[in-house]
């Protein structure tokens, strides 16, 4: 595509150079530049892309988008924009011919439940004959094609590329996890959402958002951007009516509103919820239907994920019987209440829960499916929200029989500082050291709990879920909680 064509949607830019260049691709990481690419200098919290412009040109970049004038060879035009991240979103959508306009794009946002809801919706759409792809924590998938993603919601360039791949694969729908970071940073600019889904809003990411109010406001961007319900085709806001933040988002949107929950106010509601070791049963009532469902996923919080998907399906006119069949055939998500059982009857639950509300829901559900003691192994991430660390430690102490405090991804933070934050309330309250254990090495911590567990006991391992590496300082080392459990049981001949 010609550089002039790429830049045509930009309302504010300054350039005095050749615009007839043929742009082969776009990159914002100089290491990924190919000959003929346009390089966009992004300013991040850790690095400034402007510092890598010469590396990008050396690798073949033939034009640059930047937020200031740069000293580069005369044959390389520099397009100066006020916000290069915003420009990247516009340019990327233009380069890939606005793929979100060719799909019914569903965005799912909230503190917890995004991944399960997205995966469930994608499964439901495909099973009901509506070809769909998904983008989120577990990667990008459409049909048999998959790619890994580095962030829950990737940068705008990657989003547009993924959506274009979905169009090329014949998808009619796309379902995407939309994080508060992505909304605040503008990664989903130029994404034309048909439907916004809200799961819940609880304590998280206060290292990035300065307050809960700012966190709530970031999520609102998705719903305020939905087109008006009378703008040619209906758009929908699917809201959890049992969460008070839904009132904020209902006021912010011009889309049609459908609600779900357990209260009588919900358009689609669950009744008679029963959690058992074999799964969860509940009755769904609303909008002229009443059906009984039994599915594999345990826990009341997973009922909310099911309701979010069902309510979205109702908005898209998927027959209820097809949605119920899809629910009951859904096997769950890697690293979300992922259950292993040893030959001597010890159950292990591996889960991504890394904030207070998620850990609370996880432990409550673990207790419901356990006949014995519940051990809880968990850590808190470095360079992330410090305020939730003692809160999570208190939840583990209250809701499990024995918490084992360890490390997650430490990143650049001092590991001892993380553990001190986690145990600060224990120290203040003079909790006996016999009531918990602190083991910094995550593998040792998991093995410690497994050594003590007996038949009927449950060992909950929270925080990393599906992840296959642990970030220690600047280094990523291979690490997977499920694999560590298997190694322990294998040594003892207990692997089933």
Give me the residue spans of the domains in the chain: 3-95, 99-328, 338-491
Q: Is the pLDDT assigned to residue 186 strictly greater than 60? A: yes
DSSP codes, 49-60 = GGGGHHHHHHTT
Instruction: List C-alpha distances in Å: 170 to 92, 102, 131, 220.
Output: 20, 10, 7, 31
Q: Is the pLDDT assigned to residue 492 strictly greater than 80? A: yes
The answer to whether domain 99-328 and domain 338-491 are alike in fold is no
Please give the average per-residue pLDDT across 99-119, as a whole number.
96
pLDDT for res 173: 98
Q: Is the pLDDT assigned to residue 229 strictly greater than 80? A: no
pLDDT for res 29: 95
Which residues partner with 80 through β-bridges?
14, 66
- CB contact at 8 A, 204 and 146: no
What is the distance between the alpha carbons of residues 319 and 305, in angstroms, rounded to a whole number?
A: 18
Please give the average per-residue pLDDT across 100-120, as a whole number.
96
- CB contact at 8 A, 158 and 87: no
Task: Give residue-wise pLDDT tens across range 327-378.
Answer: 999 999 999 999 999 999 999 999 999 999 999 999 999 999 899 999 999 9
Instruction: List C-alpha distances in Å: 108 to 135, 235, 240, 491.
Output: 10, 14, 12, 42
CATH code for residues 3-95: 3.40.1390.10
Please give the average per-residue pLDDT across 237-256, as a whole number.
96
- CB contact at 8 A, 312 and 238: yes
Q: Which CATH class is domain 338-491?
A: alpha beta
CATH of the structural domain 99-328, one choice from 3.10.450.50, 3.20.20.120, 3.40.1190.10, 3.90.480.10 = 3.40.1190.10
pLDDT for res 462: 98
pLDDT for res 203: 65
Q: Is the pLDDT assigned to residue 97 strictly greater than 90? A: yes
pLDDT for res 312: 97
Q: Is the pLDDT assigned to residue 80 strictly greater than 80? A: yes
- CB contact at 8 A, 183 and 219: yes
- CB contact at 8 A, 410 and 471: yes
pLDDT for res 46: 73
Please give the average per-residue pLDDT across 32-47, as a whole number.
91
pLDDT for res 208: 59
Q: Is the pLDDT assigned to residue 70 strictly greater than 60? A: yes
- CB contact at 8 A, 3 and 21: yes
Q: Is the pLDDT assigned to residue 170 strictly greater than 60? A: yes
> Given the structure tokens 């090495």, which residue do they identify?
441
**On the CB side of 344, how many CA atoms lie within 13 Å of its CA?**
12
What is the distance between the alpha carbons of residues 163 and 98, in angstroms, rounded to a whole number?
A: 9
Q: Is the pLDDT assigned to residue 232 strictly greater than 70? A: no
Q: Is the pLDDT assigned to residue 479 strictly greater than 60? A: yes
Q: Provide the percentage of residues in the chain whose pLDDT is more than 70.
A: 97
What is the average pLDDT score of the chain? 94
> Among 17-21, 106-110, 265-269, which is the least confidently predicted range?
17-21
pLDDT for res 120: 98
Q: Is the pLDDT assigned to residue 273 strictly greater than 90? A: yes
3-state class (DSSP) for residue 325: helix
pLDDT for res 265: 94
Q: Which distant-in-sequence residues (6+ apart) come within 8 Å of 332 by Cβ?
A: 116, 296, 297, 338
Q: Which distant-in-sequence residues (6+ apart) come within 8 Å of 221 by Cβ?
A: 183, 184
Please give the average per-residue pLDDT across 168-186, as a whole number.
94
Q: Is the pLDDT assigned to residue 36 strictly greater than 60? A: yes
What is the distance between the alpha carbons of residues 104 and 195, in angstroms, rounded to a whole number?
A: 8
> Given the structure tokens 């998904």, which residue do they identify?
134
pLDDT for res 206: 57
- CB contact at 8 A, 176 and 136: yes
Q: Is the pLDDT assigned to residue 293 strictly greater than 70? A: yes
Determine whether 218 is exposed, middle or buried from the number of CB atoms within 10 Å of its CB (0-12, 13-18, 19+): buried
């Amino acid at each position: 595509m010609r550089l002039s064509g790429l830049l045509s949607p930009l309302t504010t830019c300054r350039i005095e150079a050749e615009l007839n260049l043929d742009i082969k691709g776009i990159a914002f990481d100089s290491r990924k530049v190919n000959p003929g690419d346009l390089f966009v200098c992004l300013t991040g919290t850790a690095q400034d892309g402007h510092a890598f412009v010469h590396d990008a040109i050396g690798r073949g970049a033939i034009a640059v988008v930047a937020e200031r004038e740069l000293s580069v060879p005369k044959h390389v035009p520099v397009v100066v924009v006020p916000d290069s991240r915003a420009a990247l979103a516009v340019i990327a959508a233009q380069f890939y011919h606005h793929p979100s306009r060719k799909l019914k794009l569903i965005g799912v946002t909230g503190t917890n439940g995004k991944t399960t809801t997205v995966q469930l919706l994608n499964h439901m759409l495909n099973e009901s004959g509506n070809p769909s792809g998904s983008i989120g924590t577990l990667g990008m998938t459409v049909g048999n094609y998959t790619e890994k993603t580095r962030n829950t919601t990737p940068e705008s360039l990657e989003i547009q590329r993924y959506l274009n791949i979905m169009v090329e694969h014949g998808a009619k729908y796309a379902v995407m996890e939309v994080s508060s970071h992505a909304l605040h940073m503008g990664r989903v600019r130029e994404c034309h959402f048909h439907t916004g889904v809200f799961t819940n809003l609880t304590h998280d990411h206060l290292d990035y958002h300065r307050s809960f109010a700012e966190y709530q406001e970031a999520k609102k961007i998705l719903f305020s951007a939905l087109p008006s319900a009378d703008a040619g085709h209906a758009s929908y806001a699917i809201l959890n009516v049992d969460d008070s933040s839904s009132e904020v988002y209902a006021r912010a949107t011009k889309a049609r509103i459908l609600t779900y929950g357990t209260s009588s106010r919900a358009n689609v509601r669950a009744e008679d919820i029963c959690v058992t070791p074999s799964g969860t049963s509940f009755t769904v009532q609303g909008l002229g239907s009443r059906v009984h469902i039994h599915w594999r996923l345990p826990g009341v919080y997973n009922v909310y994920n099911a309701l979010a998907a069902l309510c979205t399906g109702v908005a898209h006119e998927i027959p209820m019987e097809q949605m119920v069949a899809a629910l009951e055939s859904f096997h769950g998500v890697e690293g979300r209440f992922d259950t292993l059982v040893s030959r001597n009857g010890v159950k292990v639950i591996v889960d991504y829960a890394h904030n207070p509300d998620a850990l609370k829901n996880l432990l409550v559900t673990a207790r419901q499916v356990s006949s014995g003691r519940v051990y809880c192994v968990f850590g808190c991430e470095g360079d992330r929200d410090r305020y939730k660390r003692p809160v999570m430690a208190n939840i583990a102490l209250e809701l499990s029989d024995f918490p084992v405090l360890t490390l997650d991804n430490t990143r650049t933070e001092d590991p001892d500082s993380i553990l001190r934050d986690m145990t600060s309330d224990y120290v203040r309250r003079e909790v006996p050291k016999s009531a918990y254990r602190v083991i910094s090495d995550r593998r040792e911590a998991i093995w410690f709990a497994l050594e003590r567990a007996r038949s009927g006991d449950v060992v909950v391992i929270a925080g990393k879920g599906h992840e296959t590496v642990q970030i220690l300082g600047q280094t990523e080392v291979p690490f997977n909680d499920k694999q560590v459990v298997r190694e322990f049981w294998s040594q003892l001949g207990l692997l089933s």
